[in-house]
Structure 1
């Protein structure tokens, strides 16, 4: 294959990749304003509160109680789990996205891509109690 054809094919793949990446980013931003009460809390109830509630194994192990917004923002005995405005370094997002050695929830079904995107966007929007 000539170098001209290879370059043309590479260029086509780059353009395709960039357009698909832009589409994925646009879709991730279509959630609009995320509500703790309507969007985030139901995810916690379904995926987290079995362990992270009074005397549950998640509270005993880390000190993270997720029953209320205030409990969540208090964090663990090791520090905060949410850095409002920065999902990239918020431990909540790191753990549910599997970017650490462990993934939450332990031994249970992983959060869906949509659920992790909602949590990420909520934290990036300031993790408000709305």
Structure 2
């Protein structure tokens, strides 16, 4: 094949110079690369969008829907004791099954601070180190989940107890 200058007509066709043909092929290759790059970016953007949307959706679907009120100071008598009365007293009061088995009496401040036959349940100032929170957060084996055989305490209830312990577990 013989190449002629651009703009020359040969047998009714536009003949292309070797220089023009090479630059045309490079340009076409660049267009294909650009198309593939845009497609990859679009797929990557879609994947990121789905990941973020899925994470947000999962958080919405699995949230308890509870909004806990912020409190200035946690009070044993006003915040913690009502939780114990409503969810723990049936077993952890004198004569109750939980009291007989573990020795934990949640009917008084002194009983809470005394702990169980095995040791203390509350370490003032350290909710994560306190065995009470370990049991209420269901961090152990299923047979240690409290309240035993019942629904887990709400996040708000556990956070109220956690705040009380963090603030020194005072008898207030």
TM-score (norm 1): 0.78
| Counterpart in the other structure of 2:149 | 107
Correspondent of 2:130 among 90, 102, 112:
90
The higher radius of gyration belongs to 2
Secondary structure (helix, strand or coil) at the match of 1:43 reads helix
Query: Structure 2: which 5+ residue stretches go unaligned?
Result: 1-39, 57-66
**Partners of 1:112 and 1:126 in 2: how far apart?**
22
TM-aligned CA deviation for residue 109 of structure 1: 2.4
Correspondent of 2:99 among 41, 47, 59:
59
TM-score (norm 2): 0.60
**Ranges of 4+ aligned residues in structure 1 off by more than 6 Å:** none
Using CA pairs below 8 Å that are at least 6 residues apart, which structure has the higher relative contact order? 1
Secondary structure (helix, strand or coil) at the match of 2:70 reads helix
- Give aligned pairs, total: 116
1:47 paired to 2:62? no
Query: Structure 1: which 5+ residue stretches go unaligned?
Result: 18-26
CA RMSD of aligned residues (A): 2.5
